Amino acid sequence: MKQTNRLLRRKYKLRSRSPLMVHWLNTPLRCHVVCGISAFALVASSCLLWLRPELLAADRTHQPQEIAQAIELISNRNQFRNQYRQAQQQREENQSRVDRIAGWLPESRSWEDVRSVLQDLATDCDVQLVTMDRGTTHGGIRVAVLDTECEIQGTYGNVCEFLHRIVAAELPIWCDEIQVVRAEGAKRPAEASRGNHPPVRCLATLSLRVPYAGKATTAAKLLQRRSDDDS
């Protein structure tokens, strides 16, 4: 009898020490409820993975919108290549123009240099450089300009040759205005023909403009950009 009581006490102690959840699951209804919830969670998880298989992917950093943009970018690669080639071609053309401007238009022009060029051209064209006055220097939007005015004397053909040479020079000089008159003391054509005199000489007054890059002009900015690209 004492041994039976001892076994009952031990069984009671073990039951009192068992977890509450295990005791709660011992009833049939509660067991069915837990199993139903587990089955529902399993079915829901399976359906979710079937509808969204990308959830199992190792890399989930890209959103669907980013993937669509990448696909569109790849599909338009030929168009982008053509645009890139056109941009490269346009850049080469612009660079070629800048190089031509750099070789044609100096950054600055001194009055001594301009006067020396005009004197050399006058000697080559066999005209007399009577006067040469320096004008004002001013900067425009595209280029800066040094104004000057000079008078030359010679035959009409030599004067025309002088005008052609200053425009076609390596560092050009623009002629804005020209006034041509018969040189003082020159004979008229009828008198010259009777006496078989040389051609009549004329006096030409030239209004000249000497272009250069200057500062803060479009040409100066182009030359500066070219220098930056070379460096």
Query: Confidence band (pLDDT; 50, 70, 90) for 2?
Result: very low
Torsion (CA) 188, 189, 193, 196 in degrees, nearest 10: 60
Strands in the chain per DSSP E: 128-139, 144-155, 174-182, 201-212
Higher pLDDT pick, 215 / 165: 165
Residue 176 pLDDT level (bands cut at 50, 70, 90): confident
Taking only the tens place, the pLDDT of each residue in 63-108 is 677 777 777 878 888 888 888 899 999 888 877 877 777 767 777 7
Mind spelling out the 3-state secondary structure of 66-113? HHHHHHHHHHCHHHHHHHHHHHHHHHHHHHHHHHHHHHHCCCCCCHHH
Q: Whose CA is closest to 205, among 173, 178, 226?
A: 178
| CATH match of 111-219 with 3.30.70.60 | yes
- pTM for the model stands at 0.53
What are the extents of the domains in the chain? 2-49, 111-219
Number of alpha carbons in the 13 Å side-chain half-sphere of residue 217: 20
Q: How far from the centroid of its chain's Cα atoms is residue 114's Cα?
A: 35
